[in-house]
Amino acid sequence: MSDILELLVSAASSGCIYGLVALSYLVMIRPTGIINFAVGEWAAVGLFAAFFLLTNRWLPLPYALALIAAVAFTGLIGWGTQRIAVRPLVEKGAPILGPILALLGMLAIFRESISLIFGPDPHNLPAPFGLRQVSLGPFAGTPRDFFIIGCTAAVFVGVWLFFERTVWGKAFEAVALNRKAAALMGINLRRVTVAAFVGGAAIAGFAGVLYSLTAPRDFLMGLPLAVQGFSALVVGGVGRVEGAILGGMILALAEQLTARYADQIGIPSGMSLGVPFLLMIVFLLARPTGLLRPKEAAA
């Protein structure tokens, strides 16, 4: 029994990271329709920026400040990415595939830049609260698991409030529902796109920082994380913020259950690597809107 509860805590913490990556996609897809595969690379940027800020010789920052600065830096990278690879194509009226493919080029640029600067070795952030086991009621886990879960909950509440309670959030929704009508109502599409990419990048950067708390990561971490995050998004549905975290949790739970119990029924436990792909295929084909339906437009 305690075995299962422990598995739940560790699944919840990796589910949180998948959920954050899914949220990063969602923030960009809703208003622009662009699936940005470079989110994994942004996560790597966030992680390596935090690593650099914490451990550099000249001005090592305190932990919390380094994380915030790294997330802000990733947001800046997000602005740069959309300025270079998205805005010129959108303004030229290129089909939506144009920016998506250009962003794949950016993915290669980010990845190689990181490997050029930091080398091929894996890096990780020092754990913020040590590694001893702590218990929270019946749930046992490491402090970092609870740190990841708490931070993710805060981000999701923040983004949910943004979409539901602010004028900017309403503008995002309006653009998602009908781009042309939204523009005619005086919403600045360019600004919404910038906000989507900066916000998406900051979320991805934060996901990368949290991701490195669980294990050392190298410059190749981006693409697998991007795939897992997208799989979570497909499971949960692109329509709603809650979908991202729900998808992340389902994916992480399915992965961990396969990794732990599959060989008891004769499937190699390494097959858990295939779980995100299997879920993605099943949901794309059988339920392309994901588990949660998008809300109907208010009449």
Partner 1 sequence: MTRAAPWLAAAAAMIAVAFLLKDFGYYSDQYRKLMLWVALALGFNFLFGIAGQVAFSHFAFYGIGAYAVVILTFKAGLPLGVAVVLGLALCAVLAIAVGIAATRLEGFYLALATMAFAQLFLVVLTEGGAVTGGAGGIANYRLPALELGGRRFTLTGPYYTSLIALVLLATFFVFWRLDRSYFGRACRAIRDNPEAAAAMGVDVARTKIVVFTVTSVLAGAAGMAYAFVDNIVNPPVFGLENVFLLLFMVIIGGSGRHAGAVVGAILLYMLPYVLTPLIGHHQALVFGIVMVAAMLFRPDGLVGVYDRLRARYGRGAA
Contact residues: partner 1, CB under 8 A? 35, 84-85, 88-89, 94, 96-98, 100-102, 104-109, 111-113, 115-116, 223, 227, 230-231, 234, 268, 270-271, 273-274, 276-278, 280-281, 284-285, 288
Looking at beta carbons only, is 65 or 273 nearer to partner 1?
A: 273
Judged by CB, which is closer to partner 1: 24, or 231? 231
Give least dist CB 100 to partner 1, A.
5
Q: Tokens standing for 45?
A: 């940027």
> What CA–CA distance (Å, rounded) separates 182 from 84?
24
Choose between 88 and 143: whose C-beta lies nearer to partner 1.
88
User: b or e along 55-68 (b: 16 or more beta carbons within 10 Å of the residue's beta carbon)?
Assistant: eeeeeebeeeebbe
Query: In terms of CB distance, is 111 or 240 closer to partner 1?
Result: 111
AA identity, residue 43:
A
| Shortest reach from residue 124's CB to partner 1, in Å | 23
Residue among 97 and 136 whose Cβ is closer to partner 1: 97
Q: How far is the CB of 63 from partner 1 (least distance, A)?
A: 32
Shortest approach of partner 1 to residue 210 CB, angstroms? 24
Q: Which two tokens stand for residue 113?
A: 């830049």
**Nearest-approach distance from CB 48 to partner 1, in angstroms:** 16
Q: Pick between residue 106 and residue 171 the one whose CB is nearest to partner 1.
A: 106
CB 75 within 8 Å of CB 198: yes
Of 170 and 260, nearer to partner 1 (C-beta) is 260
289 Cβ neighbours under 8 A, 6+ residues apart: 237, 238, 239
Residue 69 contacts by C-beta under 8 Å, 6 or more apart in sequence?
A: 49, 50, 53, 61
What separation in angstroms does the CA of 212 have from each of 17, 74, 200, 205?
10, 15, 19, 11
Q: How far is the CB of 212 from partner 1 (least distance, A)?
A: 22
Shortest Cβ 47–partner 1 spacing (Å): 19
Measured between alpha carbons, how far is 268 from 276 in angstroms, rounded to an integer? 16
- Say if residues 118 and 214 touch (Cβ distance below 8 Å): no
**Closest to partner 1 by CB, 107 or 210:** 107
**In the complex, what is the shortest distance from the CB of residue 119 to partner 1, in angstroms, rounded to a whole number?**
11
